[in-house]
Amino acid sequence: MNISQVNSNILPADWLEVTNNFDYSNLSNNNQLLIEVLREYMKDNTTNSFSNTLVYQLINFIFFNDSIFSIFDKIPYSLMKEITDELSKSNETEWNFNKKTHSMYIEIKAYNDLIEYGYIPQNFQRVAGSCDLQMLKDNIDFNFEVKFKESQDIHIGRFFDIINGASLINENDFLRNTFFEINLKEKSFDDSKRKCIIGEINQFIENKNNIFEGKYIQIFNTSERDNIDTYHYNDNTNVITDLIHVKCIEYLIVEIFLQDNQHIDKMIKKSKKDIENFKGYLYWDIPFQNEIDSKNIEIAFNNILKIDFDLYIYLDSFNTKYNFLIKKCKN
């Protein structure tokens, strides 16, 4: 089941004016760069922009006294400028902008994790074929390749973000502080179907009913569960869902990370090129319905991987955050 609770906050009618006039000069230079990009995006997309995680955080900072973007404070200003310049070019569609900001978050998350391991961010010129990050430790420059394994249900989370963002508007009170379930009627979809799904979600919001039955998506208030037939597509492809037992985890690692051109396989291939002091960072976003044993996942990775570079791994699941290091094999 794909269930999420919608927020309970309400924005004032003049939220856009307040946001545009908000004084953020006391924030870090990195935060100021990011907020400039987000404010421009909000001007063009108004309430539709609330589905973006960073915009949502900014709104909650301005109006509801939440914390703000501390994850960006430790990286060099020049890198933040490069990232925000690239981000400002990707706002042609709401979906693409959201994907780009998520990729940016993963890269910054890698920086922050590696800083905790004692690395120092370095300024460097990215060119075609170069690694994603350059970090200094023990007076040695290391080149890091960053890979993100996204959860297969990440699109569900992004669809929920649209509903959660819409709930901030006063007229959408039927959404607030309520549990909704989303069920997709097809396992996979292209850009055309995705646009249709977003259109159906917007139709659900406009209709302001607790139950919506579309061609591609089913949405309902969980209090109505007994009154409808819930839809679940027949999915026999995800046979391995066991992230508890070591042997099952080992099989899954081979299937999703080590097959040709999968995440770790790509790192292995790149490590064999003429790149000095190569290291890897893998962020694994695990589907929220999976129970996991973080320590057994670490054991399984150590059992399977025999690589000639250090690989830092970060596990992110619904109620577990866990990181560990796979050390390179000794010659």
Lowest mean pLDDT of 78-82, 136-140, 258-262, name the range.
78-82
Choice between 76 and 29, residue whose per-residue pLDDT is larger: 29
Does 1 score more than 70 pLDDT?
no
Q: Which region among 62-66, 90-94, 234-238 has the lowest average model confidence (pLDDT)?
A: 234-238
154 pLDDT exceeds 80?
Answer: no
- pLDDT score at 279: 97
pLDDT of residue 235: 46
State the pLDDT at residue 236: 38
Mean pLDDT across the chain, nearest whole number? 87
Range of weakest confidence among 195-204, 269-278, 281-290: 281-290
Q: Do 197 and 184 touch, CB atoms closer than 8 A?
A: yes
For residue 111, is pLDDT > 70? yes
Report pLDDT for 320.
Answer: 84
Instruction: Please report the pLDDT score of residue 239 as a whole number.
Output: 40
- What's the pLDDT at 153? 65
Compute the average pLDDT of residues 239-247.
Answer: 75
- Which one is predicted more confidently, 285 or 200? 200
Q: Does the predicted TM-score (pTM) go above 0.85? A: no
pLDDT of residue 289: 61
Residue-level pLDDT at 203: 96
**Predicted pLDDT at 232:** 60
Q: What is the pLDDT of residues 48-88, one digit of tens each?
A: 888 888 999 999 999 998 888 888 888 888 888 888 888 88
